[in-house]
Amino acid sequence: MAPGVSVVLCCYNSAHRLPRTLAHLAVQQVPKTLHWEVIIVDNASNDKTREVALEAWNRVEAVPLRVVMESRSGQAFARNRGLAEAKYDIVSFVDDDNWVCPEWVELVWDVMKSHPDVGACGGFSEALCEVQPPKWFEDYKASYAIGPESIKSGDITNSRGWLWGAGLSIRKSAWQHLVSNGFFPLLVGRRPGKLGSGDDTELCLALRLAGWRLWYEPRLRFEHFLSAPRLKWTYLRKLHRAFGASTVGHDPYLFALRGLRAFPKRRPLWAEELIPVMKRIYWSKRSLLSWIGSFSQGNAEILEIDRDIGRLFELLHKRMRYDLSIREIQGAGWRRIG
């Protein structure tokens, strides 16, 4: 791999969002000695994503843009396609609604070059809302990947322990180590008709298990455009249901990071995990009534119930694979042992 930065946009029906996003990439202030490229991963779109991307970029002569196809629907599949197609060792993922600062490419390169043990880094996201956000938005903006990823800049491997997928930059050699030694994600992320979540966190957890560090750089700033439908309370509740479901896919990595080895003898581990979730839902009777009636916008307890219900149903759905996934991650060939 040549030294440089590959900027990857994973897209599904992004034709109406791409021109503004690519316009911010087109004005990057990059030294002539630093090579970079832009890759559009068309994740089974049925609009003019490809045509719009090529047209929007046709005046940028110095930096190549390629459109590649990924027929398997899901954010994780699109991300893996982008990593596989990338020409350079640093791969920076920019969502189709992320408007990055002019120094983005150079800063990504400087951070990763200065810290060779860092497998992934993230930055500071600012909200740009299509409509006036509701009163509760400020309390829950982190659910939209808005704000600083950590209180302190620098190494967050053992503090926060994960990074948002929006603005996530990855060392391709770290990803190649995972894949060449058998890594395959448990979570696929968002796809048409399904608000999936957590595939970005899974990748960060896998990098940690393989011995890589995670880094937060607040100078890496971008505006995250939020459309009006995403600022509704019903959307936020669905998002928290997806958050809860994704925790089931994170469990095998967290157990491995915590050094879990023994398995309970009385019942399967998935059943052990199910019990505290059911207890929390049962003891939230008052909030559960509000949850059923969809009242109390901005109520944190309602969102906690949504997370628990998402986790509950996913534990039931994955019950045949749950314990097996934990054993597979514990014995994975890509892990750094000790």
Domain range summary for the chain, segments of one domain joined by +: 2-230, 237-330
Neighbours of 147 (CB within 10 A): 15
Q: What integer pLDDT is reported at residue 263 of this predicted model?
A: 58
| Cα 174 to chain centroid, rounded | 17
Q: What integer pLDDT is reported at residue 194 of this predicted model?
A: 86
pLDDT tens per residue, range 258-294? 886 555 556 788 998 999 999 888 887 666 666 666 5
Q: Within the chain, which residues score under 50 in pLDDT? A: none
In eight-state DSSP terms, residue 89 is E
Longest Cα separation, the chain? 66
DSSP code per residue over 22-80: HHHHHT----TTS-EEEEEEE-S-SSSHHHHHHHHTTT--SS-EEEEE--S-SHHHHHH
Q: Which CATH class is domain 2-230?
A: alpha beta
Q: What integer pLDDT is reported at residue 264 of this predicted model?
A: 55
By DSSP bridging, strand 88-93 and strand 2-11 are parallel
Q: Which residues contact 30 (CB under 8 A, 6 or more apart)?
A: 36, 105, 106
User: For residue 58, which of 85, 92, 28, 22 has the smallest C-alpha distance?
Assistant: 22
Q: What integer pLDDT is reported at residue 227 of this predicted model?
A: 95
Rg (C-alpha) for the chain, rounded Å, is 20
Q: What integer pLDDT is reported at residue 188 of this predicted model?
A: 92
Write the secondary structure of 98-132 as one string of H (helix), E (strand) and C (coil).
EEECCCHHHHHHHHHHHCCCEEEEEEEEEEEECCC
Tokens of 80: 């893996």
Q: What integer pLDDT is reported at residue 293 of this predicted model?
A: 61
Q: What integer pLDDT is reported at residue 285 of this predicted model?
A: 67
In eight-state DSSP terms, residue 147 is B
In eight-state DSSP terms, residue 268 is -
What is the sign of the dihedral through the CA atoms of 302, 225, 134 and 136? positive
In eight-state DSSP terms, residue 154 is E
Q: Which residues contact 165 (CB under 8 A, 6 or more apart)?
A: 75, 79, 93, 95, 145, 189, 199, 200
Token pair 């009006």 is found at: 228
